[in-house]
Structure 1
Amino acid sequence: MKTVLITGATGYIGRRLCHRLLAGGRYRIRLLVRNPKKVQVAVTGKVEIATGSTFAVDSLQAALNGVDTAFYLIHSMGERDDYRRLDRESAENFRSACITAGVRRIIYLGGLGVRDSASKHLLSRIETGEILSAEPERIETIWLRAGVIIGSGSASFEIVRNLAQKLPMMITPRWVRTKTQPVAIDDVLSYLEQSIELDHRGNLVVDIGGDPLSFQDMIVQAGRAMGLRRFLVPVPFLSPRLSSYWLILFTPIPYRLASALVEGLKSETVLQNDNAARYYPDIRPQSFSKAVTAAIKELEQHQVISRWCDSSGLQACDITEFDDPAGAILRDTRIIPYKNGEQQADVFRSACRLGGEHGWFRYQSLWRLRGLIDKLLGGYGLSRGRRQTGEVRVGDAIDFWKVVDIRDAKRLLLYAQMKLPGQAWLEFDVQPDQLVQTAHFLPRGVLGRLYWYSIVPLHNLVFADLARAVVRASRENPQPG
């Protein structure tokens, strides 16, 4: 049985590809991850887990030992100023390590676009593909190129869905008429899976996508799929910066990601070759409407395997350094004894339901205000929501928090990804007879301390009520069975 390595295994595509390959049962699956805690419990006993990264050459070499095919699903959305240099270095390391380990084939998922008109982000994706395929005489590379990916939890789908749901009429920039070729996530996974055994020697670039559509077409068709009529009026005076702020106010997407997506939409991203039809004749790309309907069904049935923010989040993407608030020097602790027969497991489950559509109990308006401020400062805000209502796993996003530690029925630790002059955590220590809720804060300089003490009055309202409400809700929604 061949061994297949998946990098980016805790990201949006990687998680779903892992499930797809496991369901097929044809390969031994190995995941390269920086933090094993982020691997889903459902797959941990079915895959090999290698801890490391493409910047740690020794761990990368060990992970590639005995591998036949390696998926490269790593890319940046410009979260750091030097992201292009890091992307190039990562790709160089990976190609060299694959050659040394005797890997037969690299499969890379990049983005549609041409050099002359590509945004900086898309240009980095193109450079990554060129680096991975730079030595065809030593290793094969299949370079799949996709535009807008439509699936539950994808950034593109969440933008389209939120705009179509919230705005019956939109004044939009001219770039909404730019053509792209969206592709369903299930089709992307089919192309990736079939690339393992594709009968082809040497390198191959394969552009994938459905029928050409504009962003305007996608919003109108998504609205129609949800039973809504939507009207867009393009105008010439909305700059990319204004467009990005427009997106962050009505969608879960933070400013940096919105800015990268808007920049990419200024140029057409359409197929440059017909290799998908030539080499993958049995894959017939779904229509955009069918892809939207399937994504909505997954949302309604709470079957979202992955989301765009699973591996995003600046530094907190690499959770291992953010799962211990011991260094915090300022704390707000609330202790709520159980007085009405509450059960430890039910209280833990209640804490795990916070955020998203369920909200933050009594002072929801204050939470929303804080989320709006965070959005305007370029953060995630509350609109990011959560993957599922009741289930959480390490790496999940819950509004502007990231789950960095879970100990079943005992502890839930959230790391703040909001814009702050310091670092913050929210910890739920669920004990047999009481809930200990602690807000930890590590201030950055004088400004950090001033920030903390200025919001103490709000803490006295919000955090005290939150702890009591978590315990109270455990009685209203007890654990089944």
Structure 2
Amino acid sequence: MKILLTGVTGFVGRRLVDELFRENIEINILVRNSRKLEDKLKSRCNLFEGDTFNTDILERALEGVDTAVYLIHMMGSDKDYLEAERRSAENFIKICEKQSVRRVIYLGGLGNKENLSIHLKSRYITGEILSSSPKVSCIWFRAGVIIGSGSASFEIIRSLVEKLPVMVAPKWVNTLTSPIFIGDVIKYLKSATLSDYYKTAQIDIGMPPMTFKDMMLKTAKVLGLKRYVLSVPLLTPRLSSYWLILFSPVNFDIARELVMGLKHESILENNNAKAIFPEVMVTELEDAVRLSIEEIEKNQVISRWCDSSKSQVCDVPFVPEVSKAIYVDRYFAKIDEEKAYKIFQVCKSAGGENGWFALNFLWEIRGLFDKLVGGYGLNRGRRKGDLRIGDSIDFWKVIDIVENKRLLLEAQMKLPGKAWLEFSILDDDFTTTAYFYPKGLSGRIYWYLMLPFHKIIFKLMQKDIIRQANELP
């Protein structure tokens, strides 16, 4: 069997490809930016760089393919992403027909078509388009809130539960939904990919219905915490979104989409999962939370919600725009050339629980300000383990890594312009550089206001990075 996987740099896709590696099948991968893929993926698969809007690349990627897995999602990419999702799905199914693909497997969202947010409506329309072909069958899985380490919904729930003993929550916390463990999602997708089932079917997957409030209270129980949730009817979706971003790692746009999705029920509407894939046993919520926490504690998180999305906050540019920077501020330090690799390892440990080496209280103030204006702040944290291109570190995104030479981060905080932070090593020179491309007069004022802080922070950062490197064995 030859299969095509899309969305492999995303939260679900990274986990699915990791599972399918263990099977004796030929795997094609369609990815917008191959720089975000680990070497093991590139060596094991047939790689095609492009997207569903490039029909020539799509035709080559689908040639000889039996089953295509469609995990493409554009939430938050543009204001008109609904139309982009539609065109993407239409292109995909058209080329599938042309290349005689037998089956498409798609993961969408639960919810009644008449009561959907734009985000969930786009998921539904995509499913309808992929299921419309008389020549290509479509297994259309529909899932609700995904529980798992790295899931946006789970990170929101965990953050709220850990930080707030008493939660005054909007009325949508009483809306029914059918959550599902990420491990079960992967099992369904893998079973479908390897199965002999070649019929078009809509398959709802997940646990019995429960409210968002139930999920928070059960999560608190697993964490050994006593929590109280009081719902009030006064918080509008906009206010609810601000409420979420203050206590969770997501930004305003993603919070708003999640809130709009929770305004209406998203529960199982059919029993097809048990009938077609009886071998997959649905994990209960308490066990799902326990397994997710265990994965976090053991530093085994494979993917996170912010790994990939066709948007300014998640994607990695093919050519970093740092070359556009108007303002550049550099700080140099001499190092022992033999310890350069240790210094680079320390640089890669930045962010999350490790902080930013110097004057962390100033970083926290900047993070709080970013939260107040709808950004990520610092509480997005980072995935533990070695960095890869595309990873998020607090309000930064990893844009480029040249091992033991260069680490380039792009700012994702709310700014009057674009900013980058670079750590670079050349022989015995260790350089920290801040780049900035201002937007209008406000951007230029912002740069000059920040310069005095740069001179203090970056020099202390370098000093502490060198100190930590010297302490490494």
Q: Shorter-chain TM-score category? A: over 0.9
Larger displacement relative to structure 2 (106-115 or 416-425): 416-425
Alpha-carbon distance between aligned partners in 1 of 2:462 and 2:102, rounded to the nearest angstrom: 54
Alpha-carbon distance between aligned partners in 2 of 1:114 and 1:9, rounded to the nearest angstrom: 28
Give the drift of 1:392. 0.3
8 Å Cα contact 1:350/1:477 also seen in 2: no
Alpha-carbon distance between aligned partners in 1 of 2:197 and 2:2, rounded to the nearest angstrom: 19
Give the drift of 1:45. 1.8
| Alignment CA distance shift 1:322-1:237 (3 Å) | farther
Give the drift of 1:431. 2.4
Match among 112, 115, 136 for residue 114 of structure 1: 112
Match among 370, 389, 412 for residue 374 of structure 1: 370
Alignment of 1:103-252 (within 5 A): 103-135=101-133, 137-252=134-249
Instruction: Render the CA deviation track for 1:409-448: whole Å, top value 9, x for unaligned.
Output: 1111111111112211111112231211111111222222
- 5+ long unaligned stretches in structure 2: none
Tell me the secondary structure at the aligned position of residue 107 of structure 2.
strand
Give the drift of 1:342. 6.4
Instruction: Render the CA deviation track for 1:303-362: whole Å, top value 9, x for unaligned.
Output: 0000000014723644234535222121110101126x7601100000000000100122
Aligned to 1:475: 470
2:14 is equivalent to residue 15 of structure 1: yes
| Alignment CA distance shift 1:125-1:313 (3 Å) | closer
Aligned to 1:5: 4
TM-score normalised by length of structure 1 = 0.95
Aligned to 1:464: 459
Alpha-carbon distance between aligned partners in 2 of 1:320 and 1:123, rounded to the nearest angstrom: 28
Alignment of 1:317-396 (within 5 A): 317-323=314-320, 325-338=322-335, 343-388=339-384, 390-396=385-391
Match among 274, 292, 301 for residue 295 of structure 1: 292
Match among 31, 45, 48 for residue 46 of structure 2: 48
Identical columns (%): 48
RMSD over aligned CA atoms reads 1.5
Alpha-carbon distance between aligned partners in 1 of 2:296 and 2:472, rounded to the nearest angstrom: 22
Alignment of 1:400-411 (within 5 A): 400-411=395-406
Alpha-carbon distance between aligned partners in 1 of 2:338 and 2:355, rounded to the nearest angstrom: 21
Alpha-carbon distance between aligned partners in 2 of 1:345 and 1:76, rounded to the nearest angstrom: 38
Tell me the secondary structure at the aligned position of residue 170 of structure 1.
strand
- 5+ long unaligned stretches in structure 1: none
Alpha-carbon distance between aligned partners in 2 of 1:42 and 1:418, rounded to the nearest angstrom: 32
| Alignment CA distance shift 1:269-1:316 (3 Å) | closer
Alpha-carbon distance between aligned partners in 2 of 1:168 and 1:400, rounded to the nearest angstrom: 26
Match among 79, 83, 89 for residue 85 of structure 1: 83
Tell me the secondary structure at the aligned position of residue 455 of structure 1.
helix
Give the drift of 1:184. 0.7
Aligned to 1:68: 66
Alpha-carbon distance between aligned partners in 1 of 2:217 and 2:288, rounded to the nearest angstrom: 14
Aligned to 1:418: 413
Alpha-carbon distance between aligned partners in 2 of 1:387 and 1:30, rounded to the nearest angstrom: 27
Aligned to 1:286: 283
Give the drift of 1:76. 2.2
8 Å Cα contact 2:417/2:437 also seen in 1: yes
8 Å Cα contact 2:73/2:310 also seen in 1: no
8 Å Cα contact 1:112/1:207 also seen in 2: yes
Tell me the secondary structure at the aligned position of residue 108 of structure 2.
strand
Alpha-carbon distance between aligned partners in 2 of 1:77 and 1:49, rounded to the nearest angstrom: 24
Tell me the secondary structure at the aligned position of residue 4 of structure 2.
strand
Instruction: Render the CA deviation track for 1:86-128: whole Å, top value 9, x for unaligned.
Output: 1101111111111111111110000000111111111111011
Q: Which amino acid aligns with 2:333?
A: I
Q: Which amino acid aligns with 1:354?
A: A
Alpha-carbon distance between aligned partners in 1 of 2:264 and 2:78, rounded to the nearest angstrom: 23
Alpha-carbon distance between aligned partners in 2 of 1:363 and 1:12, rounded to the nearest angstrom: 33
Aligned to 2:423: 428
Tell me the secondary structure at the aligned position of residue 379 of structure 2.
helix
| Alignment CA distance shift 1:227-1:318 (3 Å) | closer
8 Å Cα contact 2:30/2:50 also seen in 1: yes
8 Å Cα contact 1:410/1:429 also seen in 2: yes
Aligned to 1:34: 32
Give the drift of 1:382. 0.9
Match among 260, 263, 266 for residue 263 of structure 1: 260
Give the drift of 1:11. 0.3
Give the drift of 1:81. 0.9
Aligned to 1:450: 445
Q: Which amino acid aligns with 1:380?
A: Y
Tell me the secondary structure at the aligned position of residue 361 of structure 1.
coil
Alpha-carbon distance between aligned partners in 2 of 1:322 and 1:451, rounded to the nearest angstrom: 25
Alpha-carbon distance between aligned partners in 1 of 2:298 and 2:386, rounded to the nearest angstrom: 13
Tell me the secondary structure at the aligned position of residue 457 of structure 2.
helix
Give the drift of 1:64. 1.1
TM-score normalised by length of structure 2 = 0.97
